[in-house]
Amino acid sequence: MDVRRLDLLRELAERGSVTAVAEATGRTPSAVSQQLKVLEREAGMPLTTRSGRGLALTSAGQALARSATEVAIALERATALWDEFRHHPSGEVTLLTFPTIGATLLPGVLTDLARVAGLVVHCTDLDPELAEFPDLTADHDIVLAHTMPGELPWGGRGLKAVPLLTEPLDVGLPADHRLANRAYVTPADLVEETWLGVPPGFPFERILHAIEQEGGKRVHVAQRFSDMRIVEAFIEAGLGIAFVPRFTSGTMTSAVVLKPIRGVASARQIVALLRPDVAERLAVRTVLDVLVTRAARLLEAHAEA
């Protein structure tokens, strides 16, 4: 069987439609369909079946798609082994980050990687809903994602998840707030406050729900933002309180104070997500190693502060 056709089957399994596969691979839908038909002839049995206006994989197609992943891993591993012999992790690596960790971690990461000749890292940012992070690995080599501890929305997807750090989420208050002199705050302290929330489906929303359960009342969310710079500006202006990442919130002004919360779990896990075959590439592993090192330095810097 042709490896390129196997890869198209794998793409269909992950992307769900011939149109999406065509867009991702630079082909026409007709060309993708033709290649899948050739693969079916090579396999000697149906690999796809009509489902509405699209195609779905048969059980044989699903099994072969899983095998295609194993083939892709083996090929990348062989290429990586050759690169190691040459001591040359060259090539392009695409990396998707969400804004706060991107601003905090990536400048140092790219500075370190600038010393590696022939390695080019292309970065972009997006802060999607929690469930969307796994899908983004189809179009980016490394996806920096965050979730609440104990939640694994990418479980069962066959992705490699590399832990980077666990970051506490504090409550950001105006410096003149009634709770600003407390060592910590509790759900009972917070249920009467005006909150600055995140869009529905974003991880921080779950902590607000926990506060409501512990405090016995629904909280008032006045505004919702995904950009922490806007959130911090609204806190400073006295327009509400919000969860603020302790390590990656940027430079806080003296007009905003951060307080840890007791009584509910308030932290997020930051990981790097990759397809298993992509994770074998030496260039990708090189970028991952620097990400892990820089994340460890960030934790050390805050422990010493």
Alpha-carbon distance values, 303 to 13, 17, 246, 298, 299 (Å): 44, 48, 12, 9, 6
Whole-model pTM: value is: 0.71
Look up the domain containing 146 and give its range.
89-162+269-304
Measure the CA–CA gap between 93 and 285, rounded to whole angstroms: 10
Alpha helices in the chain (DSSP H): 3-15, 18-25, 29-43, 59-86, 99-113, 187-190, 205-215, 228-236, 282-304
**Domain boundary, last residue among 38, 64, 82:** 82
116/53 same-domain check: no
Q: How confident is the model at residue 83 (pLDDT cuts 50, 70, 90)?
A: low
CATH number of the domain that 75 lies in?
1.10.10.10
- What digits encode the pLDDT tens for the residues 228-237? 889 999 999 9
Mean pLDDT of 244-248: 90
149/213 same-domain check: no
Measure the CA–CA gap between 275 and 137, rounded to whole angstroms: 6
Mean pLDDT of 142-153: 84
286/138 same-domain check: yes
Range in 171-175, 251-255, 261-265 with the lowest mean pLDDT: 251-255
- What digits encode the pLDDT tens for the residues 164-214? 999 999 999 999 999 999 999 999 999 999 999 998 878 788 899 999 999
222/146 same-domain check: no
pLDDT score at 153: 74
Phi first, then psi: give them for residue 48, nearest 5 degrees. Answer: -130, 160
Q: Which residues make beta-bridge pairs with 170? A: 244
Torsion of CA 20, 24, 29, 31, to 10 degrees: -150
21/76 same-domain check: yes
- What digits encode the pLDDT tens for the residues 212-229? 999 999 999 999 998 888
* Strand boundaries in 116-200, DSSP class E: 119-125, 142-147, 160-174, 194-197
CATH number of the domain that 247 lies in?
3.40.190.10
98/43 same-domain check: no
176/198 same-domain check: yes
Question: What is the token pair recorded at 78?
Answer: 């062989």
pLDDT score at 138: 86
**Domain boundary, last residue among 82, 106, 127:** 82
261/284 same-domain check: no
**Domain boundary, last residue among 54, 82, 110:** 82
